[in-house]
Amino acid sequence: MAGLIFFTWKLTVSWATPELSGAQALIKTQKAELQSLSNRLETSQSRLKLSEKEIQVLRQANQLLRSEESNRQAELNILKGELDFYQKLAGTSGSQSGLAVYHLELTSTGSERVFRFVLTLTQNLQRSAITSGKVLIDLEGTLDDRPLTLPWSQITDGSEAEPAFRFKYFQQLDGYLVLPPGFSPSQLLVSLEVKGQKKLVSRGFEWLELTQPANQHHKLPPQEPVPELELELELEQELNQSSP
């Protein structure tokens, strides 16, 4: 009986050995292929990470360039605004004679109905006389789908007097406008009532244009409050230096 068992085991081993060897060889080959695929995957992942870093660097560089370009454009707009202001003030642009409403800036506040305005008035340098008067501000729009024009008394708290001006070359006035509930503004009309003159100096501003961000960055050169005589002397010195 023992001999029969030994013979059966010997026969089985001799028959299974080639198959086992083949399976081991196949496993070894597959392990090698798996290792190769793993190495290729690691390489691809490394390249992907590198590409992502390169893309991130390019994006940051692009954002930096855009920011610098935006800053340059903003500086250019400021310089153009200053040049335009001084040209009109000096009368060299040919677009202004005498008193004028140069610019109106409107900015929103914490309330949807309250806006702060900064009004810039100019006068040609060739006019040596001091001009004075008051500013009339009317707001055109609609209320309940009907056209309506509101005077100064209806777009303020009612206690503030109309802005007054008195200057020789230029002046800035500021204040607040309060919209009535349900009123939709369309145009702001600024009129200058000069003492001793019957004719008004007027200029209209579209409300939508006033509330655009681009309009809110129209700045004049920084000015420190100075006595009128000192300001006059400084302007005369600048004109003398720029003259040939």
Q: Closest Cα partner for 177 from 154, 198, 161, 200?
A: 154
- HSE-CB at 36 with a 13 A cutoff on CA atoms is 6
SS3 132: strand
Average pLDDT, the chain: 77
Distance CA 30, CA 34 (A): 6
pLDDT in tens, 121-140: 988 766 668 889 999 999 99
Summarize pLDDT for 152-211 with one digit per residue, the tens.
Answer: 999 998 778 899 999 888 899 999 999 999 999 999 999 999 998 889 999 999 999 998
Q: Taking the mean position of all CA atoms in its chain, how far away is CA 173? A: 24
Long-range Cβ pairs for the range 58-66 (8 Å, 24+): none
Q: pLDDT at residue 23 above 90?
A: no
Q: Contact, 173 vs 135, CB < 8 A?
A: yes
pLDDT confidence of residue 225: 42
Q: Please indicate whether residue 64 or residue 2 has the higher confidence score (pLDDT).
A: 64
Return the pLDDT at 159: 79
pLDDT at 216 over 60: no
Query: Helix %, strand %, coil % for the chain, to 5?
Result: 50, 30, 25
- 8 Å CB contact between 156 and 175: yes
pLDDT beyond 70 at 6: no
DSSP element (H, E) containing 41: helix 2-90
Q: Whole-model pTM?
A: 0.56
More confident residue, 64 or 111: 111
Among 100-109, 164-173, 193-202, 214-223, the least confident range: 214-223
3-class DSSP state of 202: strand
CATH code linked to domain 97-219: 2.60.40.150
Query: Quick one: average pLDDT of 133-150?
Result: 95
Residue 226: what pLDDT?
39
Q: 167-189: b or e for each residue (b if 16 or more CB lie within 10 Å)?
A: bbbbbebebebebeeebebebbe
Model pLDDT, residue 243: 47
Domain spans of the chain, in order of start: 1-95, 97-219
What pLDDT score was predicted for residue 233? 45
